[in-house]
């Protein structure tokens, strides 16, 4: 999992996007830019591929299927980034926390997620105390359990109910862009 983190002028940061096994980091290359203003932070362990920009762009140039897939993924990531910005500005921390945990759950594909509350506050761009309150709300609802550095999804359906509609919006956009043609 890769967290796309945006720094603000006051030194704080907030996660604006998340990439898992479904995607790639480097979309600006497709649009002719060699850099991006976000920081990419790799979370956790697992297999990943790394390719320099030259060979990557050479393959993109000669492989239309790859190019189409990468452009679709870039569109989905763009939609996720826009929705995350709106979500961070308008929704309660408990709703945002539930949305974010669902996104992490989707990408890590495990119920036991190695997450600390301090890190979650960094990703959500809020105080740790706000995350503690949100975690308490989700625990009381039976959606999650929490231990030392581990958040366990206890009941995904309850977590989905606790999340704002932003999770569904982004999930549906990914499904739409990657639906099999009929």
What is the CATH architecture assignment of 2-177?
Answer: Orthogonal Bundle (1.10)
* Mean predicted confidence (pLDDT) in 29-58: 91
Express each pLDDT in 112-158 by its tens digit.
999 999 999 999 999 999 999 999 999 999 999 999 999 999 999 99
β-bridge partners, 2: 19, 42
CA distance 92 to 85: 13
Whole-prediction pTM? 0.92
pLDDT (average), residues 165-169: 97
Label residue 45 by pLDDT band (50, 70, 90). confident
pLDDT band at 38 (very low <50, low <70, confident <90, very high): very high
């Amino acid at each position: 999992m890769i967290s796309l983190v945006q720094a603000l002028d006051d030194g704080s940061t907030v996660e604006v996007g998340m990439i898992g096994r479904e995607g790639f980091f480097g979309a600006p290359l497709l649009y002719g830019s060699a850099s991006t203003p976000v920081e990419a932070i790799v979370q956790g362990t697992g297999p990943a591929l790394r390719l320099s920009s030259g060979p990557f762009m050479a393959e993109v140039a000669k492989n239309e299927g790859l190019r189409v897939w990468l452009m679709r993924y870039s569109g989905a990531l763009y939609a996720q980034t826009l929705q995350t910005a709106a979500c961070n500005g308008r929704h309660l921390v408990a709703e945002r926390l539930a949305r974010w945990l669902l996104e992490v759950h989707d990408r890590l594909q495990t119920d036991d997620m190695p997450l600390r509350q301090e890190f979650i506050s960094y990703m959500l761009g809020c105080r740790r105390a706000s995350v503690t309150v949100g975690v308490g709300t989700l625990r009381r609802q039976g959606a999650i359990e929490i231990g030392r550095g581990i958040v366990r999804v206890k009941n995904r359906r309850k977590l989905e109910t606790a999340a704002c509609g932003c999770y569904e919006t982004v999930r549906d956009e990914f499904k739409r862009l990657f639906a099999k043609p009929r």
